[in-house]
Amino acid sequence: MDRRRAWTHAAAGLFAVLLLYPLAGLWAPVGRWQWSGEAGATAAAAIRVSLGLTAAAMAIVVAIGTPAALYIRRLRGAARAWWQAALLVSILIPSLALGILLALALRPESGVGALLARLGMETSNSGAAFVLTQVYVSIGYYVLGALVALEAVPQRLEQQAALLGQRPAQVFWRVTLPLARLGLAAALGFAWVRAIGEFGAVVITAYYPAGMPVQLWVDLESRGLPAVMPLLLAFLLAALPVPMLLHFLARRSLAGKATDA
């Protein structure tokens, strides 16, 4: 039994090493990293664009996606299946195809594009186009994750709170949200990674202002790997910690509940 357990741990360890092996590329001999002059300035600008506009996109995703998940949670039968299918379609559309479709659907000659233009929103190569594209590529992930988190909340607790005179908004803030917060945070973490790492759709709709994925591609084409590596490291540090932190917090919370039990 001990030998079998040792082999199991060894196999799991090998799997972990292989899973994380691509990170070894950070130590590849590509020459001295360039983080100065024009390369440093464009990289710093790309970091500001990605962090700022992705944060704005996530605010919109949460503001729209949370009520949508609450609505879908109450549905049954064909209506629920239809909404879940719509969310899956939004996730499964290839990124490049989504970018082309968005550019066509929001062109100035279209009804929606003309309306947005009258409101002062440029739907191509602008901060608004960047945010809008990130919302489209990530909101399906958030809503599906939020739906799983909300369904884990016992409805009897919400019903009891309502019977005690709590209004629907009070039930949500005092009962539903505290019980679903870890799942909602995880859903937001996945949406963040999906949005900040998007390249295919953003490069079509918002080549400017350049976020980190687009700038990485531009630097790779024009300056080579030494200019890419500092921005690549910053990209990883911006994308990875959020879901990892949420994962560890969730594990810690579960461990605490198990200890209390």
Nearest to 206 by CA among 98, 94, 112: 98
Domain chopping of the chain, boundaries: 51-252
Query: Residue 247: which pLDDT band, with cuts at 50, 70 and 90?
Result: low
* Model confidence at 127: pLDDT above 70: yes
Q: CA-to-CA distance for 156 and 176, rounded, in angstroms?
A: 11
CA 104 to chain centre: 24
CATH 3.30.450.70 fits 51-252, yes or no: no
pTM: 0.85
* Model confidence at 243: pLDDT above 80: no
- Percent of the chain clearing pLDDT 70 (strictly above): 93
Mean pLDDT (whole number) for 46-53: 92
* Model confidence at 4: pLDDT above 70: yes
